[in-house]
Amino acid sequence: MPVLSLIRERFAREQPLKGIRISACLHVTTETANLAITLKAGGADVVLCASNPLSTQDDVAAALLVNEGIPTYAIKGEDEQTYYKHIRAALDHAPHMTMDDGCDLVSSLHKERPELIPNVIAGLEETTTGVIRLRSMEANGVLRFPVLAVNESDTKHLFDNRYGTGQSALDAIMRTTNVLLAGRNFVVIGYGWCGKGVAARAKGMGSNVIVTEVDPVRAIEAVMDGFRVMPLAEAAPLGDIFLTVTGDLNAIDRPHLERIKNGALIANAGHFNDEINIPALEQLATGGRRTVRDFVDEYTYADGRKVFLLADGRLVNLSAADGHPASVMDMSFANQALGAEYMLQHAKELTPRVYTIPRDLDREIARLKLHAMGIQIDTLTPEQEQYLAAWESGT
């Protein structure tokens, strides 16, 4: 993670986060460990808890505590009670700053520990679903401190959501099932940043990709990218593999599950495990449920059809594989580190709203990434700069 390393070196010298207590609720992976170490190098007092019960890499959690002295509350496979106990433990740190992936930390802070809010200078949010929840808090007048929506940076969603999820979600499906993607009907539910990445990669592996959407613009985009687009009710009996990436509730609902093809694989790469109506699947599976491989559960319907649910419907790339590769998380977490510094520097001007990272900082991260990749690009000449800033010249 060369960009984050450069930031870490500067942070170690300049100590921009000195004395700042940070409670971070993120997927506990090797990449997150690098972020936590970077924040600590910048002078912060960091604690970490998991942002999903299944995404923790236990060796990373242990190493963070033992080797880096960063308290980490996370166990892979923890139940919901333990998950929230860990969030409460991270809040006991009385943070000046929160760092979230999905908004569970900020929402618990507002609901359960409001007495801690006056300490909080700012928060940062990693993912689309968390940003949606924060915007809802802002609109309802509930949000009580400024939060930076890291997801909205170009150097985050254009790469992490698209290329990261695109690759790691397919990796997880292949690792858990060893299914051949070539020749299969692969149904991508939701054609946002994640969905575009998944669809392009599934096509590259030889799948016949079907996209389902509710947004007309994104649906046209999918059509013009060369995919078949249809309602999910029509795709249900056609698909061999179904992947939800919507951030929406019951994207695969009971009527779809009723029509689904025998042998279908169903997975989710959206933030929460509510994109597939699992209670409905359980009701339909009167023939029972059994685990056939790690992270693969077989549900048998009354008529003998079998449907396979991956990773309990939790985000499959982090639950059943390693999540995004480090080289893409490098840019996401550069946004978190520089965003933390930015929010502290500008704390006095900020009000309890959802902010995005300034465009200059976003471009600076891209510039550093290109530099790390050894790729050079052209720069505008003074003449071109002047031309692009002017309105006078025409035909």
**Among the candidate windows 64-72, 242-250, 358-366, 368-376, which touches ligand NAD by CB under 6 A?**
242-250
Strands (E), 321-394: 354-355
User: Do 150 and 362 touch, CB atoms closer than 8 A?
Assistant: no
Residue type for position 178: N
Q: What burial class does residue 168 get, using C-beta atoms within 10 Å of its C-beta: 0-12 exposed, 13-18 middle, 19+ buried?
A: buried
Contact flag: residue 251 with ligand NAD (CB under 6 A): yes
Distance CA 247, CA 101 (A): 13
- The distance of closest approach from Cβ of residue 336 to ligand NAD in the complex, given in angstroms and rounded to an integer, is 14
- The distance of closest approach from Cβ of residue 164 to ligand NAD in the complex, given in angstroms and rounded to an integer, is 6
If the CB atoms of residues 16 and 197 are measured against ligand NAD, the closer one turns out to be 197
Task: Name every residue whose Cβ is closer than 8 Å to that of residue 262 and which is 6 or more positions away in sequence.
Answer: 304, 305, 306, 307
Of 91, 269, 307, 343, the one binding ligand NAD by CB under 6 A = 269
Contact flag: residue 212 with ligand NAD (CB under 6 A): yes
Contact flag: residue 32 with ligand NAD (CB under 6 A): no
Contact flag: residue 166 with ligand NAD (CB under 6 A): no
Strand partners, 252: 276
| Residue 91, number of CB atoms within 10 A of its CB | 20
Task: Specify the length of the chain in residues.
Answer: 395
**Among the candidate windows 57-65, 156-164, 254-262, 384-392, which touches ligand NAD by CB under 6 A?**
156-164
Contact flag: residue 185 with ligand NAD (CB under 6 A): no
- The distance of closest approach from Cβ of residue 13 to ligand NAD in the complex, given in angstroms and rounded to an integer, is 32
Distance CA 178, CA 201 (A): 16
Contact flag: residue 136 with ligand NAD (CB under 6 A): no
If the CB atoms of residues 121 and 229 are measured against ligand NAD, the closer one turns out to be 229
What angle do the packed helices 326-345 and 2-14 form, to 10 degrees?
A: 30
- The distance of closest approach from Cβ of residue 171 to ligand NAD in the complex, given in angstroms and rounded to an integer, is 11
Of 29, 51, 129, 207, the one binding ligand NAD by CB under 6 A = 129
Q: What burial class does residue 267 get, using C-beta atoms within 10 Å of its C-beta: 0-12 exposed, 13-18 middle, 19+ buried?
A: buried
If the CB atoms of residues 194 and 366 are measured against ligand NAD, the closer one turns out to be 194
Of 11, 83, 145, 191, the one binding ligand NAD by CB under 6 A = 191
Of 53, 123, 190, 339, the one binding ligand NAD by CB under 6 A = 190
- The distance of closest approach from Cβ of residue 86 to ligand NAD in the complex, given in angstroms and rounded to an integer, is 20
Distance CA 63, CA 74 (A): 12
Distance CA 41, CA 30 (A): 17
- The distance of closest approach from Cβ of residue 152 to ligand NAD in the complex, given in angstroms and rounded to an integer, is 10
**Pairing outcome for strands 122-125 and 97-100:** parallel
In three-state secondary structure terms, 126 is: coil
If the CB atoms of residues 207 and 244 are measured against ligand NAD, the closer one turns out to be 244
Contact flag: residue 35 with ligand NAD (CB under 6 A): no
Contact flag: residue 313 with ligand NAD (CB under 6 A): no
If the CB atoms of residues 54 and 109 are measured against ligand NAD, the closer one turns out to be 54
Contact flag: residue 315 with ligand NAD (CB under 6 A): yes
- The distance of closest approach from Cβ of residue 163 to ligand NAD in the complex, given in angstroms and rounded to an integer, is 11
Contact flag: residue 314 with ligand NAD (CB under 6 A): no
Sheet holding 354-355, edge to edge: 72-73, 45-50, 21-26, 97-100, 122-125, 147-149, 354-355
Distance CA 395, CA 384 (A): 17
Of 12, 289, 29, nearest to 164 by C-alpha is 29
Contact flag: residue 123 with ligand NAD (CB under 6 A): no
Q: Using CB under 6 A as the criterion, which residues of the chain lie in contact with ligand NAD when the complex forms?
A: 127-129, 157, 160-161, 165, 189-195, 212-215, 218, 245-248, 251, 269-271, 315, 317-318
